[in-house]
Structure formats: C-alpha cells, structure tokens
Amino acid sequence: MKIRNKGTNSTIETLLAARTFNRRSMFKAAAAAGAFAAVGPAIVANAQSSSGELTLLHWDDELPDPVIPDFEKKTGIKINKVPFSQNEEQINKLQATGGVGFDLCQPTRDRSPQFKELALLQPFDTNKLKLDVLLPSMLEGSTSVWTWDGKLYHVPHCWGSEAIAWRTDQTKLDYKTLSFGTLWDDQYRGKVQGRPHSLLQGIVLWWDRTGKMPSNRGMDAFKDEANMKRIYDEALKFAISKKAWIKQFWDSADNTKSGFMENGCTIGQTWDGPALSLKKQGRPVSYMAPQEGAIAWLDGWSLTKGAKNVAQAYEWINYCHSPEVSAKVADGSGYNAVAKGADALLSAEAKKNFAEAYPDDATAKLWHRPPEPSWFAELRTQYAEKFKAA
C-alpha cells in the first residue's frame, strides 16, 4: 500500500499499512482471522452481564478516563483494577495466584509462547465476541500467534510503539536523520532515558541498518541462544561503554513522563503513549519513529483460567471493541485504536500527533516484536540486568 505524505496520513490507512505482524505467516494468519471474524455477529445474551463485578489485571495507562466509569454506568458492573507497568510484573502476579483473583489480563502479543507454557489462560468462546468490528490487521495480530489447539486466547486492545521521544525546547530532531543511534550522540551525555533491554534492541537495529553488525533486522537473535549471545554480547559492550549517557532507566509510563519533566532527560527511547500524552497537554515533548523503524507492539485481553466473572468479561471486551470506546482509549492514552471506524472519532489533535509520530514511510518500516521463546526472555533479562549493574 502506498503511504501518503506527512500531513495527509489517515489513521486508518496507517494502521492498515502496518498490517503484517509476521510476513512469513501472513497467509496463514489471514485465513485464521477470517475464520474467527465470521462468528462475530453471534452475541450470546446473558442476564448476569448487566450486573456483578469484574477484576482486570491491566496496563496502568491503557484505560484512561472515562472508559471504566462509562462502562460501570452503562452496565452496572463494578470494575476492580489491578494495574501493572511491565509484562514481567503481570506474569509474576498471575503465577503467584495461578491466575485466581483476576478475570481478564493484558498480555502483549509477543509473549504468546510464555503464556502458552504457563497454562494460566482459558480460551475464548468466539461466538460471544464481536470480532468483526476489529481492523483485520489487528485481529490477525492476535489470531496468528495466540491460537492453539484450535482455540483463541487473545484479542486486541490497542497498539503502539517504542521509538524516540525528546524535549523540543532542548534539542531539534528530523525524521530523515533520526536513528536509535542518535541517543548516543555526545550532546546527550547524561541526558538519556530508556529501558535496558529496549536500548539494547535499539542498538541491534541501528547496527543492522548501518551495516556494522548485520542481523536480519535483529531477527537472527531469535533463532537460537548462540545467535542471540553473539549479537547481544556486542550490543551490551557498547551499551556499557555508553553508560554515562544514561540519566535514568524507566519502567513505567509515569516515570517516563517525570524523566522529561522533572529529572533532566532531554531524549529517550520510550513508548509513544507517555510522550504523546505530554504533547497533548501542551508540554515541550514530541515523539517520532527513527529510520530503523519504530518497535511496534500489540496489547490485548486474555481470559484467565481462574476467571469467575466470565459473562462480565465478554461484556467488557465487546464494550472496548466498539469504535467509540476504542477511540477513547487511543485519545486518552496516546496509543492507537484497533476497531473499525475509530479513526473517524479521534480528536483532531490525536490525528495530528499520529501523523507527526509516523511521517512519510514510517509505518512501512515498523519493526514488530516477534513471539519470544522463554529462553529469549530469560537471556534478555540477564543482559538487561548486566547493563543496569555496570
């Protein structure tokens, strides 16, 4: 698909431009998406879904007001919130209780192998979901890697990316020259923020694009442990040599924001949501994809094995998948909608911020996090801890 120039991008078109989460499984995933979407209109009514309660284990910045209050008012269902800020925190909470105590959780797409091994989820009854209201590309993101034993275990909630955010009153950046390598320019010594493992991934992508260390856009690191170690050993050495550039490591949306507004960070590798939320508030912060491609992710909903309020869970998911609510999630969080028609309901400011974050060919360059085997996740944590401790 041809991408329009900056300023004329339509959110719906940029979403569709980012449609292939795994090019090698595109046709297989598309077929799966069609099969699940076909059952969407058949909604099973349940009297209990208009009352009771629901406990959500959710990302702390993906349910902005008035999403929850509006749902409670509309349905009479009381929402119990248990927020988290990292996938590892979510997994630890689920493992500690065997999934009991939560009805829905919010895994990120690339964590499917880990969740399959944990066996803490139960499959959806797709007859009770309105999957036909979702953008095909977003539904494919879930069905392509969260379907096993013929059952679906994940549906989309919102998508976003990790790229470069900066203080616009302290530095000037341009898309044509912006890179993950920009973080390590001498002018930013002592002024950078990021997550340890994400900064390492950014270095891998930067070195691949420039030819310093070809890695098939980092995908070689997912082949096996030997290849990951070969690639990440070098990235870690570089990162440690540049440790003086780091002002802070962030681990949540809130301390990403405070890093820019209170802790002296000029630039960082961050999620889009926190930076664009600050931008929407009129703060001197912006966000943009680099030439290597922004690191894209998809968060969704999964039903825990210990869920007690199942009817209410389906009511909640169908509510979130309406165009109106999907747009409210995007507008309030700074992330991106997954429902058809939601783009038309976004504020003019949100549309403008999206176009500026992903200018020109930026959506065509998105780097989608692939499903991570458990061995990869464990090694990645080890490299991140070594970087932090250096």
255-278 confidence digits (pLDDT tens): 999 999 999 999 999 999 999 999
Percent of the chain having pLDDT more than 90?
A: 87
Q: Which two tokens stand for residue 274?
A: 């926190």
> Side-chain half-sphere of 120: how many Cα atoms within 13 Å?
25
- The mean pLDDT value for 170-185 works out to 98
Q: What is the Cα–Cα distance from 372 to 87, expressed in whole angstroms?
A: 12
List the Cα angle 281/285/290 in 5-degree steps.
130
Q: What share of the chain is helix, strand, coil (3-state, %, to 5)?
A: 50, 15, 35
Contact 360, 99 (CB under 8 A): no
Strand partners, 54: 79
- Greatest Cα-to-Cα distance within the chain, rounded to the nearest angstrom: 63
Confidence of residue 249 (pLDDT cuts 50, 70, 90): very high
Tens digit of each residue's pLDDT (9 = 90 or more) over 293-315: 999 999 999 999 999 999 999 99
Tens digit of each residue's pLDDT (9 = 90 or more) over 136-146: 999 999 999 99
Q: By three-state DSSP, how is residue 76 classified?
A: coil
Pick the more confident residue, 247 or 43. 247
List the Cα angle 216/220/221 in 5-degree steps.
130
Strand partners, 368: 296
| CA 248 centroid distance within chain | 21
- The mean pLDDT value for 165-188 works out to 98
Strand runs labelled E in the chain: 53-59, 78-84, 104-105, 121-122, 147-148, 151-152, 155-167, 192-194, 246-249, 267-271, 285-288, 295-304, 367-368
Tens digit of each residue's pLDDT (9 = 90 or more) over 313-334: 999 999 999 999 999 999 999 9
- The mean pLDDT value for 101-120 works out to 97
pLDDT at 241 over 80: yes
Q: What is the Cα–Cα distance from 29 to 162, expressed in whole angstroms?
A: 24
What was the pLDDT predicted at 41?
A: 33
Contact 311, 252 (CB under 8 A): no
pTM value is 0.85
Q: What is the Cα–Cα distance from 58 to 16, expressed in whole angstroms?
A: 26
Give the type of residue at 198. S
What was the pLDDT predicted at 299?
A: 98
Contact 136, 19 (CB under 8 A): yes
List the Cα angle 99/105/110 in 5-degree steps.
110
The mean pLDDT of the chain is 89
Contact 215, 203 (CB under 8 A): no
Cis status, amide bond into 113, omega within 30 of 0: no
pLDDT at 9 over 60: no
What was the pLDDT predicted at 24?
A: 32
- The mean pLDDT value for 98-127 works out to 97
Q: Which helix (H) or strand (E) holds 209?
A: helix 196-210
What was the pLDDT predicted at 51?
A: 72
Contact 47, 286 (CB under 8 A): no
Confidence of residue 33 (pLDDT cuts 50, 70, 90): very low
Number of Cβ atoms within 10 Å of the Cβ of 244: 9
Q: By three-state DSSP, how is residue 304 classified?
A: strand
Percent of the chain having pLDDT more than 70?
A: 87
Contact 112, 154 (CB under 8 A): yes
Q: What is the Cα–Cα distance from 310 to 169, expressed in whole angstroms?
A: 49
Q: Which helix (H) or strand (E) holds 141?
A: helix 136-143
pLDDT at 43 over 50: no
- The mean pLDDT value for 22-44 works out to 35
Tokens 């309020």 appear where?
Answer: 309
Tens digit of each residue's pLDDT (9 = 90 or more) over 50-63: 479 999 999 999 99
pLDDT at 282 over 50: yes
Residue among 341, 366, 164 nearest 266 (CA):
164
Domains of the chain: 11-159+297-346 (3.40.190.10), 160-295+369-389 (3.40.190.10)
